[in-house]
Structure 1
């Protein structure tokens, strides 16, 4: 009997010691907790934010919690809507919240998670780009005040080169994040309108590596919905009337480079951009550049008046249905100004090109004037 009792005790100890933890473990300390206010644990999935847990913090702010997940997930700690700490967690993770002096606006970060470290890596790349952009903006303002046109052109070129280099660095980093949903989340650092080819390849890769992840499925769905309007795809046909009621088709511009310009008389940013568009039209029209402006106006008189006042001498069409326009729906236009650049063969070769980016693309196509 004594031996039997000892065996039971040993078995109980073994079971206790082998018991697995319930999900990811997050510990740490948050300074200056607010009494009687909840800290929220939020899950981001399918582009939706859901509160999955919450807890109170007492002075001195130490905490320990378990987060049980159905799959590797994007989670964040929300401290009173004052500090948001992003995490990419699996049920095997044991991470610690630490204070850092690196970023005044984000004084807390997570340690102990390789997946989260991937996001920090890309955030640093993006922050460096934004800091360099601020420096260029200061130089741009100075050159503009001095009327130094050559310096303005040089700064525009430097910005575009810097932007391309940053995008390349981000894509290179994402591609190395095999089997980590961080690579899927990090696509938010890219301009998806101009990176369809990369996103398509990434969706294929992750669909092979972690096909059951909801984040993979979201990317695959997003890429498939982008396919008809991707760079390299044939631009959907537009067939709308001019102010005189004459129907015009986009396909009638075949053989030319044509900018589809979605705008409206009531759109202040559109009107502010119009002088630049006029200048580029005048410079490149004789070389084979044309414009098809699609108005999202509802008032015909206001539309026609804006065309005349802004000296927009190219082709204009509209069904005067605001954002319910047939063309706006087809091209998924949710805000204006918005543009698509179409090649002579009718394929999309650029999106949302305005100002310096449009001018750079036209110079690339036609050469500098």
Structure 2
């Protein structure tokens, strides 16, 4: 289950709408939306690790939004029932549009938005075909649905190709960094980041990707899994070092993660089959409530050692290893080296067969 889901077929951000905060003003957006009259617009965005909601009153279709931004941010602007997304950044911006047709807006002053528009132009035909297929899939036969699904997979791959082409063509663009951050595979992120110009790498967004790569590198095949200590269900500290000498599946999960719970029977099956051959499982829960954690262990009949600091996604271990979704796991050999990652379904048992049979 993803903390933050990164999709190759589209650009999707979740903007948490929580609180209103006032800032000094280095970003000014002067807007005109025909039909807005003396209404208001609401803007939702994340800035400096905070979720912000700003509401601005309009006068005769005109409004002015001010904020303090260190770097480009994705903003959702809502006017009545209509809304659209755009990138704001430090400086003077102008927006012209129609209240009841916000998708036709014209924004000037945002290089990030200019580059997104370039990318979207390159994928417009793909998006139109995707939308067309989506609309017809519920009204066709099963055979036609299968054809549509195959085509949608092809389109998804073409979106990825277009994104990678943009990154290579615009190595100094902050939008290239944005596209890289939508990826979730270490090797892909590393390859694309190598194409980025040093000037972009030195920005806040560029440094963030470098840190992400550093964390992800710690759970790649061939890496030694660093030692860690967490409490077990009785509250006693357990050190990972004590499991050396055997193969260990370090399994990240949580009681609230339904894909994790669905995967547990496969892990139990593999554990029962290979536990006497030098294999064990070490569960690391991202739960925050001990009662929920312990109940899930009992309900799923998980016999191996279970650890949790009950800090959820704020767990030091989760942060150190760059865990971004669960279920997630690493298979560690007797010397502490990672030999496989994210084994699902029958993959775990097949991997263990190669090692023990």
- The higher radius of gyration belongs to 1
Question: What root-mean-square deviation, in Å, do the aligned CA atoms of Structure 1 and Structure 2 show?
Answer: 5.8
In the alignment, which residue of structure 1 is the partner of 2:39?
A: 37
Stretches of structure 1 lacking an aligned partner (at least 5 in a row):
1-21, 144-150
Aligned counterparts of 2:71 and 2:300: Cα–Cα separation in 1: 53
Is contact 2:172–2:196 with CA below 8 Å preserved after alignment? yes
Give the corresponding residue for 1:180: 173
Give the structure-1-normalised TM-score.
0.55
2:198 corresponds in structure 1 to 208
Confirm or deny that 1:278 pairs with 2:260: no
Partners of 1:242 and 1:272 in 2: how far apart?
23
Q: Which of the residues 234, 240, 243 maps onto 1:249? A: 240
How many residue pairs get matched? 311
Partners of 2:252 and 2:284 within 8 A in 1: yes
Structure 2: distance between partners of 1:24 and 1:302: 48
8 Å CA contact retained: 1:97, 1:110: yes
Matches within 5 A, 1:124-143: none
- Name the stretch that deviates more: 48-57 or 205-214: 48-57
Residue 86 of structure 1 deviates from its aligned partner by 0.8
Q: In the TM superposition, what are the counterparts of 1:1-369 in structure 2 within 5 Å?
A: 29-30=33-34, 32-33=35-36, 35-39=37-41, 45-48=47-50, 54=56, 56=58, 58=60, 61=61, 73-74=72-73, 76=75, 78-80=77-79, 82-87=82-87, 97=97, 107-110=103-106, 114-118=114-118, 120=120, 167=160, 170-191=163-184, 194-195=185-186, 197-200=187-190, 202-203=192-193, 205-206=195-196, 208-210=198-200, 213-224=203-214, 226-229=216-219, 233-239=223-229, 249=240, 252=243, 256=247, 258-263=248-253, 270-279=260-269, 281=271, 290-295=280-285, 296=287, 303=294, 306-307=296-297, 309-313=299-303, 315-318=304-307, 321-323=309-311, 328-332=315-319, 337-344=326-333, 346-348=336-338, 353=342, 358-359=344-345, 361-362=347-348, 365=351
Structure 1 pair 50/337, CA: closer, same or farther in 2 (3 Å)? closer
Q: Which runs of 5+ in 2 are unaligned?
A: 1-25
